[in-house]
Amino acid sequence: MTKSEPQKTSIETLLHENRKFKPQKKLFNNYFLKDMSQYFKLYKKSINDPLKFWEKMALEHLDFFRKWKKVFSWKDFKAEWFSGALINVSYNCLDRHVITDRKNKAALIWEGEPGDIRTITYQQLLLEVANCANMLKGIGLKSGDKAAIYMPLIPEAVVTMLACTRIGVIHTVVFGGFSSSSLRDRIQDSNCKALITADGGFRKGSSVKMKEMADEALKETPTVKAVIVVKRTNEKVNMMPNRDFWWHELSQKYSDHCEPEKLSAEHPLFILYTSGTTGKPKGLLHTTAGYLLGVTLTAKYLFDIKEKDIYWCTADVGWVTGHSYLVYGPLSCGATVFMYEGAPLYPEPDRFWKMIAKHKITILYTAPTAIRSFIRLGKEYPQKHDLSSLRLLGTVGEPINPEAWIWYYEVIGHKKCPIVDTWWQTETGAAMIAPFSGVTPTKPGSATLPMFGIEPLILNKNGSNSKEGGFLCIKKPWPYMARTIYGDHERYKKTYWKEIEGVYFTGDGARRDKDGYFWIMGRVDDVINVSGHRLGTMEIESAAVEHPMVAECAVVGRPDSIKGQGIVAFITLKKSATVNHSLKEEISKFIIKQIGALAKPDEIRFTDALPKTRSGKIMRRLLRELATTGSISGDTTTLEDFSVLEKLRESDEE
Ligand code: WTA
């Protein structure tokens, strides 16, 4: 990969950006919202009486088996929405469409990296999901049990997720790029009883040996009693008798009819792990009705999904974006979802544009990091293809720098597609701040205005309103927020609701301009965002110190023109360590083995000591400055040992 240059001015450019793009009414005049005055009217109503608003939305957008008794309750930071109601997610994503004209509409159009294509209609998807649900029951799973999904981006991943929801099994999807140790940790933390995986998946022309990785994890996960394996790459794999079953063999034994279970509105839907500031990744628990309402509403209003759209969200199902906007949101809306298995630049850098032209994709939702890597490759790749089918472009995962926004708008969207920059988090479940496509005037780099029913605040640490920038918080609970951290409600309370008493703390910094537009300025905690993927600096540090030669490690993020942030690890070695030229490489591989390739440090620096405060805390701020600018000019008065700075500077000059 090309080495990225530091992106010195991203925040600067965001602060000085003042271009405004009006929606182009002539081209698209049938958006769900008429105009901004309708947005402001509805928004005001939704904030003045949120419960009435959410209740109305739930009635209009979801199918319940039984209505709720109470819209909302909030006790000990435990939210309950629509309690008393009975509902099923797979019913809302499949059955309710199959009984309409959508029965034979494509639900999924999938392209594998080698170029194989599968199209699955709503009716067919329902049969596959029902069959899979029966398989899951057959291997002993019942409502409330947990199952891990560790798969390449193939239709069976979606089928399994929906099958879990059909019978009340709680899924935890682990991104296929995570290492076996990460998979093991997640399975152990959530007590999964089963694992659904594949022999392998295709990536950059070769196959990733997923079952082999899974086997490694399974050595230390005694709770897993059964494993279902999809044959994708024809990889030679070990199958443990009575534990491992081939999907294609097992499925023959079961019917393709399975009634959806009538589950309570607060039935746990999934656990998804994400990085925090301390310790191991935390498992955010989302529940059924509120989450489904959030993803359905936002998919409908923000992405403006219509009957004839072919909608492509490029995220993997291992991330929340994949959950909400590849699977649940668009399928609940009855959309045709496009899915691609492999690497974006394979076999040629025009793979994305080729597929958009071939499948006549109309809505594209991707990450700024991908856009920036396309910019670097040059316009000629998109220009080789007919992208005229596109009508809407979305972005998510990190602040988008205005330069990337403009390129996306001009080169990909030909100045006719609205750019929908969506701010949200694993914890928030679905988009919170984003323009309503074709209605909200946009500004490059701003996620614009809040979704209905969501009241963002910008506060100081003491909870008072901040006129300048401050901490982005949300005033009140909303239906699609995570209910808890699985197994650690105290941590949930502390992290999200007690940091600034009584409001939801996002961990992001933001400012609001004179038009009320929100500008997200990035994380204010020790979470870094590498290519739109969240990583805790502590997580990488803990992985590094496991290496026998490493004494201490401090990780900081540094601006990177492609990835948003890059990883710099400052390491002190044990006295006994033998330093040779391959030690940095070895430590880097060691970190990858424990977390996954996304945690690969961009730079490792050996140093004699780390700067610490008198109370022993590593002063990451100084390291961040050093990694970014090459010098330290910030306040060093709390530093315990000043000679450390000299040593660090020396290590910089190496
Ligand atoms: C960042 C991904 C600016 C933010 C959906 C947040 C963004 C973290 C945007 C959540 C955006 C996400 N503009 N920053 N449009 N979207 N972020 O949990 O720092 O993987 O807190 O969820 O990504 O990352 P997560």
Label residue 605 left, alpha or beta by phi (over 0 means left) and psi (-120 to 50 means alpha). beta
Any domain includes 625? yes
Residue nearest to atom 13 of ligand 1 (CA): 399
User: What separation in Å is there between the alpha carbon of 246 and the centre of ligand 1?
Assistant: 37
Domain of 591?
Answer: 531-653
For a mutational test of ligand 1's pocket, the pick from 425, 504, 518, i.e. the residue with the most ligand atoms closer than 8 A to its C-beta, is: 425
Q: What is the Å distance from ligand 1's center to 565 Cα?
A: 13
Per the domain annotation, does 195 fall within a domain? no
User: Does 651 belong to an annotated binding site?
Assistant: no
Q: How is residue 273 written in tokens?
A: 């792990």
In this prediction, residue 363 carries a pLDDT of 97
* Number of other CB atoms surrounding residue 494 within 10 Å: 14
Phi-psi region of 429 (alpha: psi -120 to 50; beta: other; left: phi over 0): left
Is 471 part of a structural domain of the chain? Answer: no
CA 396 / ligand 1 centre spacing (Å): 7
Is 422 annotated to bind ligand?
A: yes
Ligand 1 touching residue 282 (CB < 6 A): no
Give the atom of ligand 1 at the shortest distance from the alpha carbon of 395.
15
Alpha carbon 106 to chain centroid, angstroms: 25
For the Cβ of 324 lying below 6 angstroms from any atom of ligand 1, the answer is no
Atom of ligand 1 nearest to the CA of 534: 20
Residue with tokens 């479940």: 429
Which residue has tokens 């730079």?
A: 603
Give the whole-angstrom CA distance, residue 436 versus residue 419: 10
Task: Indicate whether 28 belongs to any domain.
Answer: no
User: For 521, phi and psi rounded to 5 degrees?
Assistant: -105, 5
401 lines ligand 1 (CB under 6 A): no
Q: How far is the CA of 276 from the centre of ligand 1 (A)?
A: 13
- The secondary structure element, H or E, covering residue 96 is helix 96-98
Written as six digits, the tokens of 403 are 């330069």
Identify the residue whose C-alpha is closest to ligand 1 atom 12: 397
Ligand 1 pocket, 88 CB below 6 A?
Answer: no
Q: Is the CB of 520 under 6 A from ligand 1?
A: yes
2 annotated as belonging to a binding site for a ligand = no
Cβ of 162 closer than 6 Å to ligand 1, yes or no, is no
> 472 CB less than 6 Å from ligand 1?
no
Binding residue per annotation — 531?
yes
**In the prediction, which pLDDT does 12 show?**
66
CA of 464 to the centre of ligand 1 (A): 24
DSSP for 521-543 reads EEESSSEEEETTEEEEHHHHHHH
425 CA from centroid of ligand 1 (Å): 5
Whose C-alpha lies nearest to ligand 1, atom 1? Answer: 398
Is the CB of 397 within 6 Å of ligand 1? Answer: yes
Question: Given the DSSP bridges, would you call strands 146-150 and 170-173 parallel, antiparallel or unpaired?
Answer: parallel
Please work out whether the CB of residue 507 comes within 6 Å of at least one atom of ligand 1.
yes
Please give the Cα distance from 357 to 385 (Å, whole number): 6
d(CA 64, CA 81): 13
Q: Is residue 620 part of a domain?
A: yes
Q: Which residues contact 184 (CB under 8 A, 6 or more apart)?
A: 216, 217, 218, 220, 221
In a domain, 131, yes or no: no
How many Å is the Cα radius of gyration of the chain?
24
Helices (H), 112-179: 122-138, 155-167
pLDDT the model gives residue 2:
33
pLDDT at 651: 60
What number does the ligand 1 atom closest to the CA of 507 have?
Answer: 21
Is there a binding annotation on residue 181?
Answer: no
| Number of residues that make up the chain | 654
Residue nearest to atom 6 of ligand 1 (CA): 425
- C-alpha to C-alpha distance for 58 and 310, rounded to whole angstroms: 25
Whether residue 320 has its Cβ less than 6 Å from ligand 1: yes
| Ligand 1 pocket mutation pick from 508, 521, 533 by most atoms within 8 angstroms of CB | 508
Question: Is the Cα dihedral 598, 314, 322, 451 positive or negative?
Answer: positive
205 marked as binding residue: yes
Which distant-in-sequence residues (6+ apart) come within 8 Å of 623 by Cβ?
554, 556, 568, 570, 610, 611, 648
Which protein residue has the closest C-alpha to ligand 1 atom 7?
398
Please give the Cα distance from 449 to 155 (Å, whole number): 34
Across 619-645, b (16+ Cβ under 10 Å) vs e yields: bbebbbbbbbeeebeeeeeebeeeebb
User: Ligand 1 centre from 368 Cα, in Å?
Assistant: 11
At position 305, the amino acid (one-letter code) is I
Q: Is the CB of 525 under 6 A from ligand 1?
A: no
Residue whose CA lies nearest to ligand 1 atom number 3: 399
Ligand-binding site membership of 524 (annotated): no
CATH of the domain at 580: 3.30.300.30
Supply the pTM of this predicted model.
Answer: 0.93
Residue 531 alpha carbon to ligand 1 centre in Å: 11
Domain-embedded: residue 632: yes
Residue from 282, 395, 398 to probe ligand 1 pocket by mutation (most atoms less than 8 Å from CB):
398
Count of CB atoms within 10 A of residue 592's CB? 16
Residue nearest to atom 8 of ligand 1 (CA): 425
Six-digit token string for 425: 């988090």
pLDDT at residue 10, as a whole number: 61
138 annotated as a binding-site residue: no
Residue 234 lies in a domain: no
Number of domains in the chain: 1
159 is in an annotated binding site: no
Q: What is the distance in A from the centroid of ligand 1 to the CA of 457?
A: 17
| Average pLDDT per 10 consecutive residues for the chain, totaling 654 residues | 40 78 69 88 97 97 98 97 98 98 98 98 98 98 98 98 99 96 97 98 96 98 98 97 98 98 98 86 97 97 94 98 98 98 96 98 96 94 98 94 95 96 98 94 97 97 89 98 97 96 96 95 90 90 93 93 94 88 94 94 92 81 87 72 70 52
